[in-house]
């Protein structure tokens, strides 16, 4: 009981410290809360604070998060496992319970603040570029699956995660990995490779991409519709702003949002009980996503303050927990080379195909770049890249594609994963 309390406090309070650091330190803000959570989780999980499981326990728990308490007690009495394994099992059980709670709650909270009708009306011209981006992603993921399916364990799950990463970033990745019950080490590896390769890609988009693409793509046309972007830009740049969440007025609104999220999760869980066990988690996640999106169309729900930030806070908690479950030494084994190459294909292959399709359909350079940015790195990066392009008018297209990516990424990633599983 004491162990459970300590772990729960660590997992839920450490993100508060991380968020605080991102507000007082420019360096921490540039690194990002999610990346810091991963780093701390990996450090704690591989520092020796958690006991190392024996081979016997590892074989018994293979493919599961933990073993039932009564089974563990019997195995200990029979001398099959050690007291250290019992301790390891208790920690794993706590970690799994936290993950099971925070991701379903985070999904509706992230969706409540979306105003889809407004985004669609403001930037219809972004739809073509969005479609080209999604087609490019699907092409490389499907090709990558058939290239690496024999060398990556659970390649169909990785395919679904890659769709999640490149349509909605970490929130979609976390939701899809939970729905597909992805091994924590594979999850961390996939996201870590993406963070490293994504940094290289972002540097390219911020520096030389515009000059290079302008050689064969149309330049941004001055005839593009101009809209007053002041409020929209402030919204995009404010998604990482947690200030004010602890005030009484905002606290009451967040309590309402959290209560509604709990009801949505309960509804999803109830529906999950009437489907076969193998389809249970997928059903729960997709039901929660659908209900969250539906409630975002209700005005009083959509106007609740800081719901997106609360959802992202839970994503940071998830990042801390899942990274502390990963085996850092195992991440550098040669058998993970194929996974690295799959992510390389996802990052750079989708960009190359997207640019090629933009050439065919005559989509301008700036719209292409900002769509790649929105899908690959999420909406908060759009104003940054727009500033580097010296084109604030392109922000609207980027934000629209990014917002829509949040919405359909879960459906697309899970659907593609199960489609590929059949091959």
Instruction: Tell which of 99, 122, 140 closes a domain.
Output: 99
Q: For the packed helices 83-112 and 170-180, what is the interaxial angle rounded to 10 degrees?
A: 130
**Is residue 220 scored above 70 in pLDDT?**
yes
CA angle 387, 402, 285 (to 5 degrees): 150
* Sign of the torsion angle spanned by Cα atoms 381, 383, 388, 393: positive
**382 and 241 fall within a common domain:** yes
DSSP letters of 359-372? HHHT--HHHHHHHH
Q: Are 113 and 308 in contact (CB under 8 A)?
A: yes
Task: Give the domain range for residue 180.
Answer: 103-421
**224 and 260 fall within a common domain:** yes
Banded pLDDT at 123 (limits 50, 70, 90): low
Q: What is the pLDDT of residue 222?
A: 45
Over the stretch 318-336, which tens digit does the pLDDT of each residue have?
Answer: 888 877 877 666 666 666 8
**333 and 406 fall within a common domain:** yes
Instruction: Tell which of 81, 99, 117 closes a domain.
Output: 99
**351 and 373 fall within a common domain:** yes
**Quick one: average pLDDT of 41-55?**
80
Q: What is the pLDDT of residue 355?
A: 94
What distance lies between CA 88 and its chain's CA centroid? 27
**Is residue 223 scored above 50 in pLDDT?**
no
In whole angstroms, what is the distance from residue 375 CA to residue 72 CA? 44
Share of the chain above pLDDT 70, in %: 87
**222 and 311 fall within a common domain:** yes
Instruction: Tell which of 66, 99, 132 closes a domain.
Output: 99
**94 and 238 fall within a common domain:** no
Mean pLDDT in the chain? 83
**Quick one: average pLDDT of 175-187?**
85
Q: What is the pLDDT of residue 121?
A: 61
Q: Are 366 and 394 in contact (CB under 8 A)?
A: yes
Q: Which of 10-24, 102-116, 175-189, 381-395 has the lowest average pLDDT?
A: 381-395
**193 and 268 fall within a common domain:** yes
**255 and 329 fall within a common domain:** yes
Banded pLDDT at 356 (limits 50, 70, 90): very high
**Is residue 278 scored above 70 in pLDDT?**
no
**Quick one: average pLDDT of 363-380?**
85
**Quick one: average pLDDT of 162-180?**
85
In whole angstroms, what is the distance from residue 8 CA to residue 385 CA? 38
In whole angstroms, what is the distance from residue 167 CA to residue 375 CA? 5
In whole angstroms, what is the distance from residue 22 CA to residue 32 CA? 7
Q: Which of 182-186, 189-193, 227-231 has the lowest average pLDDT?
A: 227-231
More confident residue, 278 or 243: 243
Over the stretch 63-79, which tens digit does the pLDDT of each residue have?
Answer: 566 788 888 888 888 88
**286 and 228 fall within a common domain:** yes
More confident residue, 323 or 225: 323
**Is residue 1 scored above 60 in pLDDT?**
yes
In whole angstroms, what is the distance from residue 64 CA to residue 58 CA? 10
DSSP H or E segment with residue 401: helix 395-421
**Quick one: average pLDDT of 3-13?**
88
Q: What is the pLDDT of residue 221?
A: 63
Q: What is the pLDDT of residue 93?
A: 86
Over the stretch 19-43, which tens digit does the pLDDT of each residue have?
Answer: 999 888 888 887 778 778 878 988 8
**Is residue 416 scored above 90 in pLDDT?**
yes
Q: Which of 63, 64, 60, 114 is nearest to 85 (CA)?
A: 60
In whole angstroms, what is the distance from residue 212 CA to residue 367 CA? 14
**Quick one: average pLDDT of 284-295?**
86
Q: Are 176 and 163 in contact (CB under 8 A)?
A: yes
Number of domains into which the chain is organized = 2
**149 and 24 fall within a common domain:** no
**130 and 75 fall within a common domain:** no
* Sign of the torsion angle spanned by Cα atoms 34, 35, 38, 40: negative
pTM: 0.73
More confident residue, 171 or 337: 337
The single-letter DSSP state of residue 346 is I
Over the stretch 257-271, which tens digit does the pLDDT of each residue have?
Answer: 999 999 999 999 999
Banded pLDDT at 219 (limits 50, 70, 90): confident
**Quick one: average pLDDT of 168-175?**
80
**71 and 107 fall within a common domain:** no
């Amino acid at each position: 009981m004491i162990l459970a309390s300590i772990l729960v406090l660590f997992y839920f309070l450490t993100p508060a410290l991380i968020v605080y650091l991102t507000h007082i330190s420019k360096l921490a803000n540039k690194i990002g809360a999610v990346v810091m959570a991963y780093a701390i989780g990996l450090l704690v999980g591989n520092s020796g604070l958690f006991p190392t499981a024996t081979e016997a326990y590892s074989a018994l728990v293979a493919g599961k998060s933990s073993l039932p308490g009564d089974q563990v007690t019997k195995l200990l009495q029979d001398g099959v496992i050690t007291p250290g394994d019992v301790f390891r099992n208790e920690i794993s059980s706590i970690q799994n319970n936290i993950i099971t709670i925070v991701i379903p709650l985070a999904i509706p909270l992230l969706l409540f603040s979306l105003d889809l009708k407004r985004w669609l009306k403001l930037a219809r011209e972004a739809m073509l570029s969005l479609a080209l981006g999604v087609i490019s992603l699907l092409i490389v993921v499907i090709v990558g699956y058939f290239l690496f399916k024999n060398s990556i364990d659970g390649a169909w799950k990785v395919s679904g995660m890659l769709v999640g990463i490149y349509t909605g970033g970490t929130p979609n990745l976390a939701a899809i990995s939970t729905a597909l019950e992805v091994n924590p080490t594979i999850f961390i590896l996939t996201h870590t490779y993406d963070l490293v390769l994504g940094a290289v890609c972002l540097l390219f988009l911020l520096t030389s991409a515009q000059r290079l693409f302008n050689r064969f793509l149309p330049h941004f046309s001055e005839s593009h519709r101009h809209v007053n972007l002041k409020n929209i830009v402030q919204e995009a740049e404010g998604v990482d702003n947690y200030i004010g969440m602890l005030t009484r007025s905002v606290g009451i609104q967040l309590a309402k949002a959290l209560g509604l999220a709990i009801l949505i999760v309960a509804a999803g869980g109830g529906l999950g009980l009437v489907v076969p066990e193998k389809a249970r988690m997928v059903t729960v996640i997709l039901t929660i996503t659908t209900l969250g999106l539906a409630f975002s169309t209700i005005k009083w729900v959509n106007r609740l303050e800081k719901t997106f930030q609360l959802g992202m806070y839970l994503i940071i908690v998830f990042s801390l927990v899942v990274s502390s479950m990963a085996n850092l030494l195992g991440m550098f084994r040669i058998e993970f080379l194929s996974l690295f190459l799959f992510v390389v294909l996802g990052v750079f292959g989708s960009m190359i195909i997207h640019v090629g399709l933009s050439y065919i359909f005559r989509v301008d350079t700036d719209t292409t770049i900002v769509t790649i940015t929105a899908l690959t790195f999420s909406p908060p990066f759009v104003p940054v890249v727009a500033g580097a392009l010296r084109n604030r008018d392109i922000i609207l297209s980027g934000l629209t594609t990014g917002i829509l990516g949040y919405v359909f990424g879960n459906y697309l990633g899970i659907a593609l994963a199960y489609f590929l599983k059949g091959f």
